[in-house]
Structure 1
Amino acid sequence: MRAAGGWLLAALAAWASTGAEIRIAYFGPAEPEHPLGGSVWQGVALAAEENVAGPPVRLIAIWDENPWTGGAGKLAKLIYQERTVALIGGIDGTSTHLAEQIVAKALLPQVDPASTDRTVNAAFVPWIFSVMPDDRNLMRVLVDGVLAGPGRQSALLISSTDHDSRIMRREFFLAADRRLRLRRAVEFSSAATVAAAIRDLEAEAVIVLAGPVDSAAAVRELRRLRGGLTIYCGPAAGSRTFLELAGEAAEGVLFPDPLEPSERAQDFARRFAARWGEPPDYLASHAYDAAALLIEAVRRAGPDREAIRDALRALSPWSGVSGRIEWDKLGRNTRKGRLSMIQNGRPQPYN
């Protein structure tokens, strides 16, 4: 790691004494109620509010509901014109890949709070750090859970066709590797897809790999058709959006949970609820850690992008509210995850 010389420490001291703000770009909707990115913003914003020592932090948010056509240009303009020192974002695998392409050219540190897609880090871009466990580890947890459950010999797989779901499906099959027998694997397009897939099929368990909206729709239909099914989902089942949309149908759903229980997590949940009036989901927890890590790195390194990158790597391992964060050689958190169940409307550890 590059050592901070006397000139840099002096520059940082002068920078801090003037009260100059730290400008950090945020690639995501700055809207707490946004169905896909609201929890991420809540976590990032709370971290910025709580970490007030030193120079003031200014989050500059940019987003477009069509990231590839509108968001890319807006983000590039923000990075080059607003003198941002680092980036937090995006809110899923697709938007994170897009942001990665820009930071690789701008030589800007990026902390990824939400993506489980390990191909984000497979491009060998040394500027990106991902705080979530990846799909490979999470799908191993899921497959082990299915194999230990009642439906391991007669399971149905339903998966969506978006980028993140396709990556998750691929990792699921790699983790299963002839250990798990599926009766059928189908692509989700609507509730009718679920009805057609399960009709006349003697399945005891169904695995749903999709984002929170599609997962909730599939789970509601499965409960309507066969209330006694064992249902497994991807990590999206731990999200606020899934829990709200699935409602009572979410009860009993099993899923690979990226979070580690701890006293630190419980304390964060109390502060988060006091600020936002609701408990945090796994996205909010990881987003908080992403922002807290980056803010600490900036304060240690000063407004130098390369030094910030080196400080981010040096801060590992980090005890976060989401659990232990320790980078592998590509900048991905090595945490494995664990199996959880939705009970009384909230994720609970499952034994």
Structure 2
Amino acid sequence: MRIHNFSAGTAVLPDFVYNKTADANRDYNKTGLSLLETSHRSVVFADILTEAEALLRELKSIPQEYTVLFLADGASQHFAQIPLNLLNNDTEASYLDSGVWASKAINEARLDGKVNVVASGKDDEYRSIPTDFYIPEDNTHFHYTSNNTINGTTLLVVPKTSVPVICDMSTDILSSEIDVTKFGMIYASEQKNAGVAGVSIIIIRNDILDKVNRNIPNISNYAIPADNKPLYITSQVFAIYATSLNLKWLKSQGGVPAIEKRNIEKSGLLYKEIDRNSLFTGRVSNISQRSRMNVTFLPNNPEHEQEFLDFAAERKVVVIKQYADYGGFRASLYNALPIESAKTLIAVMQEYENHKKLNA
């Protein structure tokens, strides 16, 4: 029986990616070498990187005035690196506080300069995202998180402002159609929708590269790898290959428009069951901001939490426990999760409801 993996990351990948990476691990493209022992300076990797960038540009319609990087780190690295690149000592940046990871980005930015928190969902326990706020035109940039993994909220409309918009799309990149030109920079850890852990996608508009007027380490300056890619750092050869495969799979599925329709269907079915089921309640207070990627819900009786987790695990539904120190459940419905898995979780919820009624 198939395991239904609802992990928030590292997430489920398509079988196509599993099979091709397994082959590459043994012998990449009949070279006689494992990709794990292939140099990041080799022609083999140069071809992989070129294909990955071309696929990403095609799938997201990225114009040439944007640089695409695949960097060896996670999103948290960029919480610190972004203000280093954009925020001078005498300037201010605007941030939207919509959850745990947005708060971490704010705390890192405060180490480098002035931060204007335009709005915060903290008083609502991040069950919704504020949308009524002002972004000063003299700020260096505006930063927000488009999808909040832990809280299960999402902001589908890009806030309007004249300053560069910087967006953390770690948990919803490639899941829905967006206009890249509305952003100064998009960044994302890959282990949700784009690939495996250890690599971040960076899409940055060229005119905001190398603008800071203070000295920063070369390793932290986005302009350096942009000018020297891919050789300034030791690239994650195997992980970027997995990314290329994942992008190729996404293209074969009909691209982002097709996968967005599938994601709407998957999340819609699960939210419908949460709203119907007498044992569960959705966590997000603003229904229009419910995430398509991370569906969060609570047991109406907290004492049933572990019982339901065990009940689901017995039926091969796994990793639905909410993030550490948070109660309830979280089902992550990333691109590669089959709709059959969502339907299986729904069936388990219905079976559990019937079980509790029979044993009441």
> Same fold per TM (> 0.5)?
no
Larger relative helix fraction: 1
TM-score (norm 1): 0.34
TM-score (norm 2): 0.33
Higher relative contact order (CA 8 A, sep 6+): 2
